[in-house]
Structure 1
Amino acid sequence: MASAGYGICGIGAVTGYGWGREALWNGLVSAKPAAILADGYGVAFDETAWVVRVPDGGDPEDGLSRFSRALRAAAREAIADAGARGWRPGRRVGLLHAVVLGDVDVQRSFHVDHHGTQSVRDYLALMPSTPTAMLMKEFGFHGPAMNVTAMCASGNSALITAKLWLDAGMADDVVFVATDLSANRDNVLHFAKIGVAVTDADPLDACRPFQDGSRGFVMGEASIGFVLSNQATDPYLRVLGGAMTHEAYHVISIEPSLTEIRNCFAGALENADVPASAVRYLNAHGTGTKQCDEAEATVLRELLPPETGVYSTKPLTGHCQGASAAVELAVAAMSYQRGAIPAPPTVADGLPGLLNGVTPMADGLTLKSSIGMGGHNAAVVLAPPA
């Protein structure tokens, strides 16, 4: 029998749809992509590019950059939400921050705009440990605190690490945040050169995960916060288990045999102690790139029931890189609570089982997969709250 797992009992969100988890949900159910046609992306993009950017906002006291403000806002919203759902922090609250590139705006300002001449305080803002230290100080948390980085699998990897801390008794509760606000010109340009980011077409036309004619993804940004604990009366869902593997193959490409992706999916089910037949939904990595979509579709056909519903929110939220899995975990959690999955509308022929638009949610488990650049794979098994 599967264990009861741990509950996600608080969610905070800052995305291209705005500041707050309600803005995320309302944007998704509208079926309108969060992307905008942004200026200032250089001649390679005819001076504009389709991109999902977190809008300005947040508390100026949280720092000069959108990154620091979004991180703190997502964490605060998640903690407040958990409190409203009956959570009371234990003695040892841990903190995990899933992050890949860090605060690119602060890096550029320090190294390029000011040539390293800013204050010591501004210099310390470059350190990846500084945001976690400031959050621990704000809330008086004293459990373990660290960053997790596994490219696009970072959110899933942070959730699995949080569960490991709870299993080991190292923490009573864990707050974890995933932040990526790196969709600036430099990064978008290089992902376009790699051939995976699309900048010249409407996202629903360009990014078609598991559908004919997909060209890749639109770059996105987000900061998502969660509280993982069993000390709450009204969790969104339960995390039963998960697994991580690494392909040890290539900095970009997926290993053709798909061995470690299979091992990751199967390992997550084994760790959760549930059969593949219990999975009702695959909340996919679903980038819209050929190799990622084909890899997930292949393992889906081999491992999961034929009636499994499949969806990816990347056509709507963009590919939020280090925060992508966390955005999609938040969508899964709110879907359990609200009884519907806000899948993007399909625009072409595609994979059997691909959800088309907002879909009533049936009982059953969700497998959330992530395939990170460089060979990082992570999958988690999610269950209804009761």
Structure 2
Amino acid sequence: MVLRGIDICGVGTVTGYGWGTGPFWDGLVSGKPAATLTPGYGLDGNELAWVARVPDGGERADGRSRFARAMRAAARAAITDARERGWRPGRQVGLLHAVVLGEVDLWRNFYRSGPPKQMRDYLAQMPSTPMSTLMQEYGFHGPAMNVSAMCASGNAGLLTAKAWLDAGIVDDVVFVATDLSLTPDNVEQFVRLGVAVADTEPLDGCRPFQEGSRGFVMGEASAAMVLSRQTDRAYARILGGAMTHDGHHVTSIEPGLTEVQRCFREALANAGVSPSDVRYLNAHGPGTAQCDRAEGTVLETLFPAEARVYSVKPLVGHCQGAASAVEVAAAALAYEHSVVPASPIVAPAHPQLLDGATPMDGGITVKSSLGMGGHNSVLVLAPPA
């Protein structure tokens, strides 16, 4: 079988584990969640909440907020990594930034603080600003734009990058997904929706495909990748993918799973891969009942019994608009290290669920992400050619 696609040739991450891909990977394979008891949330009368918040850090010159600094740091790390692995930028380098809630902290302060307000403070909060400064830093002149599809934004951005490359619009793409939105206000809304857990340790509350799961622990991240067909040493290859929309409800998955299952089938067809070729399902896996049911149904009806499923959300947290991107980064690093960074099993589980870090024998990985409101997305990944 001839594998087609685009290569992931550089990776950079900023997560609750810290600033850099090293802390991210070490945290995943340790099996210890990034979330900590964090003060200042005041949920249900508790001052402390379990969240995987990105710690303060980064370069002051990259912006006034953790958001801007994380975005620039992750992108810069991915570009540096790609160059060290043999990538040389082509004439047209594009930039795609997946984002749902940007500069939450700055916007809150901007409207809550009294006058006077500086024009530079206002401009700093625009979603185009960190993109513009990154393009200026590297002298890139390809198209640059934001992508937003709720939790599926990362997959959506990567599919857009592949479309740009397939169409010859660009020679290379720098892709970044950033979500640093864990204010007490935002965490409270997800807890009230009944999908987020903040009052117990992550592995106790978030158990995808296991009994007793109550939902997800919220996280933050910025994950970046360089995508190209001009590299000697890739992490992984994106063969293809698909997106559909339920057109059903603002939060819930359509019970018949018609569009979810169509998304998986069309992704495999687009990638030129048979369901029997799939070795791993890197699931959306937030630990909610409806997502466990949806992805469990696909696993059991579409993929072979030998396929295995895992989710990294109990470890890195649900990183919202950056979720699927940080999970693709985990899958790409899995090929590099020959280890699947699965979360440990802590309760009776689906028989195909991996238990903690597991040796990897290559093969096709399917990455699904089911964004709130009906955004279904699936990527098909393979080892580097």
Under TM normalisation by the shorter chain, which class is it?
over 0.9
- Which residue number in structure 2 is paired with residue 335 of structure 1? 334
Deviations 1:7-31 (A, max 9, x none): 0000000000000000000111111
Give the structure 1 partner of residue 130 of structure 2: 131
Q: Distance in 1 between matches of 2:117 and 2:62?
A: 18
Aligned to 2:109: 109
Counterpart Cα distance in 2 of 1:8 and 1:363: 16
State how 1:163-312 maps to structure 2 within 5 Å: 163-312=162-311
Q: Distance in 1 between matches of 2:19 and 2:114?
A: 30
**2:14 maps to what in 1?**
14
**1:178-231 deviation per Cα after TM superposition (whole angstroms, max 9, x unaligned):** 000011100000000000010110000100000000000001000001000011
Moved over 6 A (4+): none
In structure 2, the partner of 1:385 is: 384
Q: Is the CA contact 2:15–2:220 (under 8 Å) kept in the aligned structure 1?
A: yes
Q: Secondary structure at the match of 1:41?
A: strand
Q: Given that residues 43 and 49 in structure 2 are in contact (C-alpha distance below 8 angstroms), is that contact kept between their aligned partners in structure 1? A: no
Cα deviation for residue 2 of structure 1 reads: 4.7
Cα pair 2:280 2:365 within 8 Å, conserved = yes
Tell me the equivalent position of 1:319.
Answer: 318
TM-score where L is the length of structure 1: 0.98
Q: Distance in 2 between matches of 1:2 and 1:82?
A: 24
TM-fit CA distance, 1:290: 0.3
CA gap of 1:181–1:114, structure 2 versus 1, over 3 A, is farther
After superposition, give the CA deviation of every residue in 1:286-321 in whole Å (9 maximum; x if it has no partner): 000000111110111111111111000000000000
1:5 and 2:21 aligned: no
**Residues 338, 362 of structure 2: 8 Å contact kept:** no
> Contact (CA 8 Å) 1:367, 1:380: kept in 2 or not?
yes
Q: Which residue of 2 aligns with 1:68?
A: 68
SS in 1 for 2:304: coil
CA distance in 2, matches of 1:43, 1:142: 45
* Counterpart residue type for residue 93 of structure 2: V
Structure 1 unaligned blocks of 5 or more: none
The offset of 1:232, in angstroms, is 1.0
Q: How far apart are the structure 2 equivalents of 1:336 and 1:245?
A: 27
Residues 105-152 of structure 1 show CA distances to partners (whole Å, capped at 9, x for unaligned) of 11111111246x321111012211111111111111111110000000
What secondary structure, in the 3-state scheme, does the structure 1 residue paired with 2:106 have? Answer: helix
Range that drifts further, 172-181 or 302-311: 302-311
Task: Report the Cα distance in structure 2 between the residues aligned to 1:131 and 1:64, rounded to whole angstroms.
Answer: 11
Opposite residue 87 of structure 1, the aligned amino acid is W
What is the CA-CA distance between 1:43 and the residue it aligns to? 5.0
Distance 1:43 1:234, change over 3 A: closer
Q: Aligned partners of 1:363, 1:96: CA distance in 2, in Å?
A: 28
Which amino acid in 2 is paired with 1:248? Answer: G
SS across alignment from 2:261: helix
1:350 Cα deviation from its structure 2 partner = 1.1
* Counterpart for residue 53 of structure 1: 53
Q: Which TM-score applies when normalising by structure 2? A: 0.99
Whole-angstrom CA distance in 2 between matches of 1:311 and 1:377: 18
Please give the secondary structure, in 2, of the residue aligned with 1:204: helix
User: What is the match of residue 24 of structure 1?
Assistant: 24
User: Alpha-carbon deviations, 1:340-385, whole Å to 9, x = none?
Assistant: 1111110011112100011000121000000000110110000001
Distance 1:236 1:280, change over 3 A: same
What percentage of residue pairs aligned between the two structures are identical?
A: 65
One-letter amino acid of the counterpart of residue 100, structure 1: V
Equivalent pair of 2:97/2:176 in contact (CA under 8 Å): yes
C-alpha distance in 2, partners of 1:39/1:123? 29
2:61 is paired with a residue whose SS is helix
Paired residues of 2:235 and 2:383 also in contact (CA < 8 A): yes
User: Which letter maps to 1:313?
Assistant: V
Q: Is the 8 A contact 1:2 1:240 kept in 2?
A: no
Figure out how many residues of one structure are paired with residues of the other and give that number. 385
Q: 1:252 to 1:6 in 2, by over 3 A?
A: same
CA contact (8 A) 1:2 1:272 kept: no
Unaligned regions of 5+ residues in structure 2, if any? Answer: none
What are the Cα deviations for residues 45-92 of structure 1, in whole angstroms up to 9, with x where unaligned?
511110010001000111111001000000000000000010000000
Q: Is the 8 A contact 1:96 1:145 kept in 2?
A: yes
C-alpha distance in 2, partners of 1:260/1:311? 22
1:134-153 to 2 correspondence within 5 Å? 134-153=133-152
**Aligned-partner SS, 2:211:** coil
Quick check: 1:2–1:274 contact (8 Å CA) kept in 2? no
For residue 44 of structure 2, give the secondary structure of its aligned residue in structure 1: helix
